[in-house]
């Protein structure tokens, strides 16, 4: 059984399920703010300090084969509200959709065939085990 990605608008509670899960990406990394100064002492140890880590954008891509799928992604891409994405692994991300780039590809038997790339800027993440990794998971209405 395939578990589909779900989008949820946290301001209205509106939900949508992707017809086809993304086939690339979907796991954000972490960008750390780390600095080091090397001292002149005989052992040449470095003094290292770390600032606040921030999650990097989550990028994912896939294919679109129906008009309904394309139009659903277009509508979600222009939302100006906090969006929750639940992936097929049960991880929950909350944030905003920062970019959506569909590319139409010619297919003789499917006029709606597109590939796409989407960028999601997460503000909070809960892993598959239910642990909040960063941010604060906001309940929807």
Q: Percent of the chain at pLDDT above 90? A: 70
| Phi (first) and psi of residue 68, to 5 degrees | -60, -40
Structure tokens at 88: 């097929």
Q: Is residue 86 part of a domain?
A: yes
Q: Is residue 130 part of a domain?
A: yes
When the pLDDT of each residue in the chain is averaged and rounded to a whole number, the result is 91
Q: Is residue 34 part of a domain?
A: no
Least confident of 3-7, 88-92, 119-123, 133-137: 133-137
Residue 44, helix vs strand vs coil: coil
The Cα angle at residue 11 between residues 59 and 17, in degrees rounded to 5: 50
Of residues 41 and 38, more confidently modeled: 38
Q: Is residue 39 part of a domain?
A: no
Structural domain boundaries enclosing 104: 6-27+56-134
User: For the segment 98-127, what is each residue's pLDDT rounded down to a tens digit?
Assistant: 999 999 999 989 999 999 999 999 999 999
Q: Is residue 46 part of a domain?
A: no
Query: In 66-89, which positions are buried (b, 16+ CB within 10 angstroms) versus exposed (e)?
Result: eeebbebbeebbeeeebbbbbbee
The CATH number that applies at residue 12 is: 2.40.30
Least confident of 44-48, 89-93, 103-107, 119-123: 44-48
pTM score: 0.86
Q: Is residue 37 part of a domain?
A: no
Q: Is residue 15 part of a domain?
A: yes
Q: Is residue 43 part of a domain?
A: no
What is the domain count for the chain? 1
Least confident of 14-18, 29-33, 82-86, 116-120: 29-33
Neighbours of 94 (CB within 10 A): 21
Asked whether residue 141 carries a pLDDT value surpassing 70, the answer given is no
Distant-in-sequence, close-in-space partners of 40: CB < 8 Å, separation ≥ 6: none
> What mean pLDDT do residues 6-24 have?
95
């Amino acid at each position: 059984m395939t578990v589909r990605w779900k989008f949820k608008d946290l301001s209205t509670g509106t939900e949508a399920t992707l017809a086809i899960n993304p086939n690339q990406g979907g796991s954000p990394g972490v960008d750390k703010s780390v600095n080091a100064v090397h001292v002149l002492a005989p052992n040449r140890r470095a003094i290292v300090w770390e600032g606040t880590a921030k999650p990097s954008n989550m990028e994912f891509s896939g294919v679109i084969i129906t008009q309904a799928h394309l139009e659903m992604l277009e509508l979600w891409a222009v939302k100006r509200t906090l969006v929750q994405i639940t992936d097929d692994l049960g991880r929950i991300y909350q944030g905003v959709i920062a970019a959506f780039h569909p590319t139409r590809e010619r297919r003789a038997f499917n006029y709606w065939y597109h590939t796409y790339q989407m960028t999601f800027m997460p503000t909070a993440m809960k892993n598959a085990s239910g642990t909040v990794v960063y941010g604060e998971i906001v309940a929807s209405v």
